Amino acid sequence: MTNTASKPTVAVVGGGLAGLAAAATAAEHGLHVELFEQGETLGGRAGSFRDPQTGQLVDYCQHVAMGCCTNLADFCRRTGVADCFGRYRRLHFFAPDGTRHDFAPAGWLPAPLHLVPGLMRLRYFTLGERWDIARALWWLAREPLAGGDDETIGEWLCRNGQSARAIEQFWSVVLLSALSETVDRASLAAAKKVFVDGLLAHAQAYELLVPQLPLGEIFDRRVAAWLADRNVVIHQGTRVKQIDGDARRATAVVLPDGTRRQFDFIVVAVPWRRVCALFPESMLAAMPALRRVEGIQPAPITAVHLWFNRPITRLPHATLVGRLSQWIFEGQYLQVVISGSHGVAGREREDILAEVRRDLEAVWAEARGARLLHWRVITRPAAVFSARPGLEKIRPDQHTPVENLMLAGDWTATGWPATMEGAVRSGYLAVEAVLRSLGRNERLLVPDLPRGRLVRWMLG
């Protein structure tokens, strides 16, 4: 083994959450880790930038997690940043007519019945529509997916008698938030996962975890310091140009200046659209599954950052139903998130801003007449992968056919949508594979929230 002080050595390529999770667990399990990140900061897509006008550290886009994100929670506990997230048990929906409807499942009822009182309080639906939604949730949970993964959730909802209004104002609202994808594109399998894991399976699954600090402070500063304390060598601003090797072994990480660094294991944790370019033909030929990831489609997310001269709402977050502005977050300034923003591409920024302001003014009196001091619109065209039918068949396993080469990244086979949770899971699974290669069968993946008897019965 190439070694430093006899520890097996691991190179992690990519300092997003997948790479950070891999680096953290590998270091904790006695491996010597070096992390290569091409950017100047860690956190990848879950990152921040310094806004030149206000001087504030601003997230490219507000990120939230949920109670069902057990591995992200474990990663944050391990690295000492769990207290950087606030937990919210009440969600605030504003109906198209501007009325507010709070959603708070009943903790005293066993899952999945805990949802019933919250659902019944969504009075912008008729009683009949609420009943139809509840019934369809039940059927979705019991859906065997016998036809494989080739149907969209939109087709399934129509087949199961959901009205256009229920689709637009309930199903789309949840799925856009969770998958950043529209119902006519998202797969039935991905939607089932969202509703089962995120709502039905456990009374705390739906709880919202919102970072109370900029993501850059959490991942680029605090987690980086934690890693450095555990002797992880972090190379920021260092792009990996290529991974050398053959069909059997990855031999080196090659940097742009030609430097070749040898490691016992290499974990590649870059986005799916960058991964194939890192390997020579001889290695790609040994990994046919990897070539297929080029078929994964992206989905866009737009964040509108607004600095007003006064707060617009006292709510820390809210969901606006039936509007361009889907989620708003009020903190050091106001942020509006538009997920699955396919329709926004190509529109002028001023035009997007004007519609967002109309949305805010329709819901909050404080927005009318508030002075806008500064604003930014940031669209990430490839924010996440699109969870379309057939996707699960092309997501590769973390352990590749090349014996010492592992993959991580939200796009690898985790069963999760493109989320921080999916990224952390992939990093844990990659390190599990490294440990297995060393003859150590240690489990790092944290189980899902426990499912009660009623949930197990519902799921058949």
What's the token pair of residue 67? Answer: 């109670």
221 sits near ligand FAD (criterion: CB under 6 A)? no
| Minimum gap (Å) between residue 419 Cβ and ligand FAD | 3
299 sits near ligand FAD (criterion: CB under 6 A)? no
437 sits near ligand FAD (criterion: CB under 6 A)? no
205 sits near ligand FAD (criterion: CB under 6 A)? no
29 sits near ligand FAD (criterion: CB under 6 A)? no
273 sits near ligand FAD (criterion: CB under 6 A)? no
What's the token pair of residue 366? Answer: 């404080």
301 sits near ligand FAD (criterion: CB under 6 A)? yes
Among 8, 44, 216, 245, binds ligand FAD (CB under 6 A): 44
Q: How many residues make contact with ligand FAD (CB under 6 A)?
A: 38
Residue closer to ligand FAD by CB (options 162, 238) is 238
Residue closer to ligand FAD by CB (options 274, 342) is 274
Helix axes 70-78, 17-28, angle to 10 degrees: 60
Q: How far apart are CA 327 and CA 321, in angstroms?
A: 9
Which residue in this structure is represented by tokens 């493109």?
Answer: 418
For residues 232-261, which are near ligand FAD according to CB under 6 A?
Answer: 239-240
267 sits near ligand FAD (criterion: CB under 6 A)? no
Among 8, 9, 14, 130, binds ligand FAD (CB under 6 A): 14
Among 17, 33, 141, 234, binds ligand FAD (CB under 6 A): 17
Among 16, 211, 245, 340, binds ligand FAD (CB under 6 A): 16
67 sits near ligand FAD (criterion: CB under 6 A)? no
Task: Give CA torsion, residues 135, 137, 138, 139, to 10 deg.
Answer: 90
For residues 179-198, which are near ligand FAD according to CB under 6 A?
Answer: none
211 sits near ligand FAD (criterion: CB under 6 A)? no
Among 78, 89, 101, 380, binds ligand FAD (CB under 6 A): 380
64 sits near ligand FAD (criterion: CB under 6 A)? yes
Residue closer to ligand FAD by CB (options 36, 308) is 36
327 sits near ligand FAD (criterion: CB under 6 A)? no
Residue closer to ligand FAD by CB (options 323, 425) is 425
Residues in the chain: 460
Which residue in this structure is represented by tokens 């119902």?
Answer: 183
Please, which residues bridge with residue 301 across strands? 339, 380
| Minimum gap (Å) between residue 39 Cβ and ligand FAD | 4
What's the token pair of residue 127? Answer: 């009683």
270 sits near ligand FAD (criterion: CB under 6 A)? yes
Residue closer to ligand FAD by CB (options 303, 312) is 303
State which amino acid sits at residue 131. W
| Minimum gap (Å) between residue 219 Cβ and ligand FAD | 9
Residue closer to ligand FAD by CB (options 18, 431) is 18
For residues 395-434, which are near ligand FAD according to CB under 6 A?
Answer: 409-410, 418-423
Binding region for ligand FAD (CB under 6 A) out of 181-189, 224-232, 369-377, 378-386 = 378-386
Residue closer to ligand FAD by CB (options 202, 317) is 317
274 sits near ligand FAD (criterion: CB under 6 A)? yes
Residues 6+ apart with CB under 8 A from 281: none
Binding mask 71-90 for ligand FAD (x = CB under 6 A): --------------------
Residue closer to ligand FAD by CB (options 370, 396) is 396
Rule CB under 6 A: which residues touch ligand FAD? 13-19, 36-39, 44-46, 60-61, 63-65, 239-240, 269-271, 274, 301, 303, 380, 383-384, 409-410, 418-423
